[in-house]
Every structure is written in C-alpha cells, then in structure tokens.
Structure 1
Amino acid sequence: MRRPVLATSHGLVRGITGPEGIGVFKNIPYAAAPTGPNRFAPPRPPSAWNGIRDADAYGPTAPQAPYPPPMDRLLPEALVPGDDFLNLNVWTPDPAARLPVMVWIHGGAFTNGSGALTGYDGTAFARDGVVLVTLNYRLGAEGFLHLGPGDTGRANLGLLDQIAALTWVRDNIASFGGDPDRVTVFGQSAGAMSIGALLAMPAAKGLFHRAALQSGAAHHTLSPASAARVTARLAAILGVPPTRPDFAAVPVQHLTAAQLRLRGEISARPERALWGEAALNLMPFEPVVDHDTLPRAPTDAIAEGVAAGVDVLVGCTGDEFRLYTVPSGLGRTVTDGLVERTATGYGLPPGRGVAAYRAAFPAAGPGELLAQIVTDWFYRVPALRLAEAQSRHGARAFVYEFAWSSPAFDGALGACHALDVPFVFDNLADPAFAPLLGDTPPQVLADRMHGAWVSFATTGDPGWPAHDERHRAVRRFATAPGTVHDPRGGLRALWDDVR
C-alpha cells in the first residue's frame, strides 16, 4: 500500500491510501497534550517533530466514562487510552487540489464521544470531492469547568480546543488539498451546540465560512451562577477546594467518576434552585457564558448579527427525545402530571401548552407527548430561531427535519436522536450503527442526505429553498422526501413567547 507523506507546520506525516485512492491521515496533533502544566489550561501548540510521523491509526481520545445502559448499546464509542488526545484525522481525495473542507465536531453531551468512531470515517466525503476532518476535544470538567470571574481566559477549554483545531485547519489544510477559504464546520448534538457557541465567539471568527448544525443550536449554555453551583458540588464530591490547581491534581479516573455521580444527582433532583439551567438541560458541563471567551449568550449575540454572513444548515430529527424515553422504559412511566410540569418548566403557558400538543398529536400517550415537547424545546425551536436570526442578517439559512423512523424497538424509536448521523456520513453499513438503524436502512435516503451536505459545503446550497420568516421552508428527509412550509406552525408560534 502506498504511504503518502505530507507536510504540516510541525513536521511531516505519513498516512495510508484507503479505498478509492483516498489519502487518510490520523492522529495528527493540533495542540500539546493537556497534561501536567497544560491540564485545565488553554490549548498550547504541539511540539515539532523530526523525521516523519506515522499517521496510520487513530490516536488517544479524551478521557470519559462509558455511556450507562442502555445507551452503551445504542451509541457507538471508541476509547483509545493516552494523554496526547488533542489530535485530528484527515481524509483527502487529492492533496494537489483546492477542495472544500468539512470539519466534524462530535456529540456526546459534552462528556462522551470522539473523532475516532469508525462511523465518522470520511471516505464518502472525500470520494465526493471534500476534504474531511474529525477531531477530539476536552470533555466534562476537563473541558467545561468554570471557576468564576477571576479565572479569566480559562473557561470553555473544550471550545478553545475546537478553535485550536480550526486554526490548524486554516494553517495546514492546503497541504492536504483543502481550501482554507471554504471551510464548513458541522456537528451533531453537543457538537452542534458547540458550533452555536463558536458562531458567537470572537476567537472563532473567520475560521469557518458555513455551518451545519444537527440536533443542536445556540440555545443551551450555562450562566456563571449555574456553573458555579456545578463546580462547587463537583469539588465537594471530590473533597477538594474549588480551585484549578486542586482539580488538576485529581486523577483522571476519579474526576470522571465524580462527574457521573454529579450528573446522577442532577437527574434525581432536577430543580433550578439547586442547579440553575443545568436542571433543565441535565448537562452539568456545557458552554458557559463567562463574559470573556464567550462574551454573551450565543442566542442573543447571533440574534444581533454577530455571525452575519455565515450560511447555516440547521435542523433536527422528528422524534429526538425518544432515544431517551423508549429504550430505558421511561416513556411507560410518564404521567399527565409530569407532562404538565415539564411544559410549564420550559415556559409554556400552564394548561394551554399541553393542550396544544394534545390537539396536534391526538393519538399520543403521556410518554409520547413528553418526548415531543422536549424535542421541540431542546432541538427544533432553537434550530428555527438560529435560522431566523441568520436570515435576518443576510446569511442563507436552510432548515431540515430527519423523519425516517427506525424499525428498532418495534418502531417506537421513531426518528430519534443520532439516527441521522450514519445517513449524513453515508456509512449505513458500519456495524456500530446497527442497533439504531435495524437491518435495511434505505441507502437512497443516505444518498440524498449526504449529497445535500456535500452540496452545501461545495456551493452553499443543499438543494431546497432557503428559510425565512415568510416562507419557513423545511426539507423533510424521509422515505418520500419533500419540502414543506412551516410544519407544525401552531406549535412553533406557541414557543415564540418563551425565550
């Protein structure tokens, strides 16, 4: 097998030639290992190396605890031990070309995931004329611990890692056949929420030119006050003072175990008085509006035009939250009272909010109603607001809904969270996705969806009308795809007063 050698700003790398002649380069460091003095510190450049560095296998991944059951059987993971995990991977069809670039930011609730999943293999993108990059970033407390206003410049380290990776792309991707002036960043779940924050971060400006956000937008962040509650409780669980040196002295395995315990406590008592916004999101570690690295809430900043000119492709799956209610059996335990408390907790008008959902889904039981309300609050409505904001400030915004229903769990999963990822990557055959996809996922749908993402990165147009507040075009990806206008518009309008 031919072993291509390319130059980066820190040294030469030797990749492999994959299927269809695609050049594959893995485990390229974009920042120094976040250990020792670099732990709980902003990313620093990697050291240069002499000779040729082999880039033929995935490198270490960020420390994390495995998903708990039943998510461990449904969401694929790739855990590679090692300290030097701020690395990235590149697939290129032609190092001598100047092709559009797509940079993938993985999801995992800011505590799980990596760029090393086989399902994120970039061969299909490279086959279709795109240079594809995947990356790792710091997770959990390592990436998103906030220690207050005196800790300037050290919040949101996971986002700063992503910016360091995008900076590496700007400075190096031309050696791999990519055009640094045509970079599309795309991600799913926490990856998409990261992109929502990047759109509002001064340090990220100009590092990407288009953005595709799947099942996440700019809405979900923590205030400093909420982050302080999380930090204080994590320190108490660990038995250390809440300072950066004391957290940095905690062994990684103890820290990840404490994070699991903390998340369990929040899930058991999701009270805003205890946890602030983390009680609604059930995510103790996520971007923090620290007024420095992230100066303002992304929703507000984007609404005022801070990301003007960045075209976006944004949307969600039709039944996002069923991933969490169906496999666990939670949906069978939901009562009408819980549905009402959840809806009013999200700000919907008491009584009237749930009544509107019952009218829209007359055959749905309490568990299905709860899943639909959470899907809209967490995913669909933030996506629409991001599209509206960008279109108001001169960018093109394209909205989609993934509506193909999985046959898993006797069809009860519907179009659940994460189901769209293998279609976007055109990797339906990857066995890691089988528990979600079932036996015969439609390849024609992967062709359409993957093709739309490639077209968006290449031309800025995924193939359907742009979204604006007059027409509200939404592309629905299902067995029989089509474009609809303002689907479930009455429910959308219901959320307009909830900010």
Structure 2
Amino acid sequence: MQRRNFLGQVLTATAATTLLNHSTLANFYKRNKSSVAEEFVIADTKLGKVKGVSIDGVNIFKGIPYAGKTSGEYRFKRPGKLAPWNDVLDATKPGAPAIQPPRRNEPDPSEDCLFLNVWTPANDGKKRAVMFYNHGGGFVIGSGAAGGQDGANLARNFDVVVVQTNHRLGLMGFLYLDQIAGPEYEGSGNNGMLDIVDGLKWVNANIKNFGGDPNNVMIWGESGGGAKTSCLYAMPSAAPYFNKASIESGPGVRMFDKETAHETTLQVFKELNIPISDWKKILDVPAADLLALQNKLPSVAPFQEKNKKKGMMSRNAGGFGPVVDGKALLANPFDPIAPKISKNKPLLVGWNEDEFTFFAWQSKDTEFTKLDFEGLKAKLLHTYGDDTDKIIATYRKSLPNATAPEIFIAISSITMMGLGSITIAEKMVEQKAAPVYLYNFGYKSEMKIPGTDYPMGTPHAMDISFKFNNESANKPSFFGGNRPEKAIASHNFAELWTNFAKTGKPFTKEGPGWPAYNLQDKPMMRIDTQMEIIINRYPEIIELWRSLGRI
C-alpha cells in the first residue's frame, strides 16, 4: 500500500471515528453531570438581550446566534445578515449543530447552525482572558456543546471566559465552487472556517458584556479543532481577533490545494448527476441527500505528504476541509513557513503519547496486541516498504524494553499527530518571533481496549476532558479510568492552558518552568500528575523520520 494512501485511510478513520468521540463521550459526561440550575441571568449583545442560566457560580449562555441564515439562498455563501431582536432571547439550550448524523441531547442538525455558547464566572465587566475553542470531529462532525468540553469548570476554577461555536461542516461548509459558480460563491471552500471568523468577530464586539477581554483571546482546539486553529492562525480575516493559540493532536500543516478541491467538487456533481453547466441545481438538493452523498466520499481530514518524485505536496481528491484558495487561506498554514501574520502570537502545540489506541478501540482492532517482531515487520512492510527494517531497528534501539505492540502504537501515534506538531514547532522557531511551546500529554489510563489486556494509555481525545478540568477524583472517566490521581493531571493541564490564555506563557504554581522550544535543547513538557521538562526527547526516532522526509 502506498504511504500516502495509508495515511489517507488513517485520517479517514480520524474523521469517521471522531463521531463517536463527540457523541459517545458527550453522552457519558452528560449522564454524570449533577449540577442544578440556580437562577437566570440576562446579558446584553449588540443585537439584543439574551437569557442564560447561573449554575454553581458560572453563568452559561447557549445557542446565541452569531451570524444569519446559511440555508436557502445562502447555501454555500456567506451568511445572511442577522437581524436584531426586541424580546429577551432564550439562551439556555444549545443551538442546532451543523448538518451531520443526529447528536443525542442536542437539537436536530440544521443548515442554519451559526450559534455559540459562553461560560463565564460573571457578567461583571471584568477583563478576563477568553478561551475560544474549536471543536473536533475532523471537518465533518461535532459541535460546541459536546459534554467532555463543557467549559464551566475552566470558568469556575480558573477565572476565564470560554466560548465555543457551531459552524458549517463537511460538504455544506467546504464545497469549493469558486471555479464554477462565480464571484457570489468566492471563498465557498472555506465557509466553515469563515464562520468561525464570524464567531471571533462576535467575541470582539460582545464579550466585554460577558466579563471577557476582547483584546486577550486565545484560540485552541483538539483533533479537527487543532487543524481549524492552524488555519485560523494563517487567515488574514482572523488575525485581528486573537492573540495566542494552541494546536492539540491535530497539526494542520497543509490543507487542500485548489486543484484537489475542484476534483472533489466534480466528483460531487457526478454523483448527483448534475452537469457543471447546471450547477445551480445543487442549491435545491435536500440537505439529507447531500449528507448521504458526503458519506460516500472519504471523510479525510486534510493531509498532504511530499511526493518524492514530484518534490511537491499531493493527496487524492475526496473529503472536505479548508482550501488554500489564495483569498481566505493564502497558503498552507505551516508549509513552507509559519504564517508571518501571526509571528508575534505565542503558540502551544503537541500530542498524546498513545494517540493510536483510540483508533484501535473504535475500529475494534485487537490483532495488533498479538504481534511479535516478525509480525510487526509484516504489518509495517505494506506501508514503509524498504524503510521497514530501519524503522524497527531504530525504535528497538531507542525503546529497548518496548514490545512489538508498543512499538506499533508508538510509530502509529507519532506519525499521525507527533511529526506535524514538531514541524509546526520548528517552523515557529525559524521565525525568531513569538515563542512556541511543545508538549506531550502522558497520563496513563488503566482502561483496556475491549477484548484485550492492552491498556488505552493516553489515547487520542482523552485530553479533552483533562484540559477542560472535567476529571474528578471520585467519578469514573470514559477514557481516563477510575484512579483518583487523574484529577491532578487534569488540574495541571487546565492550569497550564488557562495561564497561557491569560499571559501568553504556560505555567503552574508548583510545576517546573516551561522553556520555549528551541532547536538546540528541544525542550518538551510532559503533562501528567507530575510534570516534567524533557530535553530532546526521542532524538534517534525524530532523526529517523527526518531522514525519511517526514519532518
């Protein structure tokens, strides 16, 4: 199997299985929530008043519209203008998520999905740091109301304001029509990202009425949300509205080029049996039919790998995500360089140590747990060909006590999320401007992959509930397990991130100082119950992948 195709399949799994991440996990956390509403609270926005609810000392507003219609005549266009309202708007329930399979305990998905949620300690005019979170789910699923990313504990325990948006996803948010539909549809391949920019604009205009500082905004996100954050970091339209960023287990180094996006568009019209000359007929296709069509195509988070023969970036058509259109997104976020427009904005970037166990769990892959080293070679040979022996030998030397299954997880995890994170850190350092901080999340869950005795470790998506400070010492966690010390790791993670949001520097009162990444020491923070600065972690492994052109 070609390496590019393998990675495409892996990232197809990322997008597809994150559906369970953002529904199964959400359901778990909602079942375990016991807070009781205390009173209603009213806040002003530029367009009218909204009514939220105060729960355990946090004011929560959900389902606030931040832009207008995206259905009907506005399908595949920028939203219609949002009209002011006279009555107090009920903002006690989440707004509709973008078109996708139904989400439990949320409204039915809708084309009109531009709503946001706010968690604040008080609507008191205080200038708190604002943490603007981009939900995961690739670019095809998810919402700002998923349970594990509930922002109440961050607001309550660390005195910050948390904001999360719903925005267009998949075909509805990223169908590239620029080459066939004319100037009205310019930027259509980035509508989902431009929706998020509209959310940032809303924050700039309104957040002071929610106790937040419009001049101290951090954008952050995990998985697909990390890739969205990577794009925002490179988008001129977003630049005035945030001051720092964090990219977590979703390094968006490269996005779709126009040619690939156009090929996908042609596939869509072919499947719909609509001639390009009659492209407007897609405006009348029911959203449910478009979703069904979307599910036939690869739901791949944008990923491009160097084609050694062509010396350029390439990937197969299919899938939906941001497009380097030269307008909304001028260039790949971190290729060949970090974006100059954000060079003065501090950045956090990193990944979880055992990312791939999540995907093994979701795909019910238990065979890897039985591998010996001969089986490991056979399994990797399809992907890495003549480089396989070199890869295995390097890992066995660097991790002498690791079993064959552990090496398989280590290889799969770092190639999915780690190498892109390191690339981003290095590109930032090369700018010699704002600091970048590299991390690994390493708290080990005792939970086992079902049907095996193999522990989950630190899987993809486990960091969500930890960094939102939603892990409790006396309550079970979906991934985090039952050990009470998980609450310590969660507090550490949340304290680092909230202090970064406030000051541009991640720190805790009791942990070690976290130096900015540099190309000499290559310091990395390992986040766990005990935090540790590791100098030049995995040097042989990193140089291996660099020699193979992966960094």
| TM-score for both structures, normalised by structure 1 | 0.88
Match of 1:30 in 2: 66
Match of 1:456 in 2: 500
Alpha carbons 2:136, 2:221 under 8 Å: kept: yes
Pair 1:8-2:36 in alignment: no
Superposition map of 1:216-295 within 5 A: 216-241=250-275, 245-263=280-298, 284-295=319-330
Alpha carbons 2:377, 2:392 under 8 Å: kept: no
Superposition map of 1:98-177 within 5 A: 98-127=127-156, 128-149=158-179, 152-177=186-211
Distance apart, 1:459 and its partner CA? 1.5
Give structure 2 stretches of 5+ with no counterpart.
1-37, 369-374, 508-513
Give secondary structure in 2 for the equivalent of 1:5.
strand
Deviations 1:180-239 (A, max 9, x none): 110001100011101111111111112100101110123142222222333233333333
What is the alpha-carbon distance in structure 1 between the residues aligned to residue 166 and residue 299 of structure 2? 25
Match of 1:405 in 2: 444
- Decide which of 107, 113, 120 is 1:80's aligned counterpart: 107
Answer with 221-230 or 367-376: which moved more. 367-376
Among all aligned residue pairs of Structure 1 and Structure 2, give the percentage whose two residues are the same amino acid.
Answer: 31
Alpha carbons 2:223, 2:249 under 8 Å: kept: yes
What is the alpha-carbon distance in structure 2 between the residues aligned to residue 466 and residue 53 of structure 1? 44
Superposition map of 1:86-485 within 5 A: 86-96=114-124, 97-127=126-156, 128-149=158-179, 152-241=186-275, 245-263=280-298, 284-300=319-335, 302-303=337-338, 305-330=340-365, 332=367, 336-343=377-384, 351-362=389-400, 368-393=406-431, 394-409=433-448, 410-428=453-471, 434-440=477-483, 442-463=486-507, 464-485=514-535
Distance apart, 1:46 and its partner CA? 1.8
Alpha carbons 1:146, 1:155 under 8 Å: kept: yes
Give secondary structure in 2 for the equivalent of 1:7.
strand
Residue type matched to 1:174 in 2? K
What is the alpha-carbon distance in structure 1 between the residues aligned to residue 109 and residue 320 of structure 2? 22
CA shift in 2, pair 1:136/1:244, >3 Å: farther
Alpha carbons 2:52, 2:61 under 8 Å: kept: yes
Distance apart, 1:337 and its partner CA? 4.0
Distance apart, 1:365 and its partner CA? 6.1
What is the alpha-carbon distance in structure 1 between the residues aligned to residue 504 and residue 330 of structure 2? 29
Alpha carbons 1:315, 1:380 under 8 Å: kept: yes
Match of 2:20 in 1: none
Distance apart, 1:26 and its partner CA? 0.9
CA shift in 2, pair 1:228/1:339, >3 Å: farther
Alpha carbons 1:343, 1:354 under 8 Å: kept: no
Count of residues in correspondence between the two structures? 478
What is the alpha-carbon distance in structure 2 between the residues aligned to residue 51 and residue 25 of structure 1? 16
Answer with 165-174 or 301-310: which moved more. 301-310
Residue type matched to 1:491 in 2? I
CA shift in 2, pair 1:295/1:132, >3 Å: same
CA shift in 2, pair 1:82/1:321, >3 Å: closer
Distance apart, 1:371 and its partner CA? 3.6
Give structure 1 stretches of 5+ with no counterpart.
67-75
CA shift in 2, pair 1:8/1:487, >3 Å: same
What is the alpha-carbon distance in structure 1 between the residues aligned to residue 223 and residue 139 of structure 2? 9
Answer with 427-436 or 479-488: which moved more. 427-436
Answer with 419-428 or 332-341: which moved more. 332-341
Alpha carbons 1:65, 1:257 under 8 Å: kept: no
Alpha carbons 2:101, 2:109 under 8 Å: kept: no
Alpha carbons 1:336, 1:366 under 8 Å: kept: no
Deviations 1:336-381 (A, max 9, x none): 344234346xxx9564344323433456566554443332233112
Superposition map of 1:62-77 within 5 A: 62-65=98-101
Match of 1:49 in 2: 85
What is the alpha-carbon distance in structure 1 between the residues aligned to residue 242 and residue 423 of structure 2? 21
Residue type matched to 2:153 in 1? A
Residue type matched to 1:290 in 2? D
Distance apart, 1:295 and its partner CA? 1.4
Give secondary structure in 2 for the equivalent of 1:156.
helix
What is the alpha-carbon distance in structure 2 between the residues aligned to residue 241 and residue 213 of structure 1? 40
Alpha carbons 1:77, 1:113 under 8 Å: kept: no
Alpha carbons 1:475, 1:482 under 8 Å: kept: yes
Match of 2:30 in 1: none
Please report the RMSD computed on the Cα atoms of aligned residues, expressed in angstroms.
2.9
| TM-score for both structures, normalised by structure 2 | 0.80
What is the alpha-carbon distance in structure 2 between the residues aligned to residue 432 and residue 386 of structure 1? 36
What is the alpha-carbon distance in structure 1 between the residues aligned to residue 322 and residue 231 of structure 2? 7
What is the alpha-carbon distance in structure 2 between the residues aligned to residue 115 and residue 493 of structure 1? 38
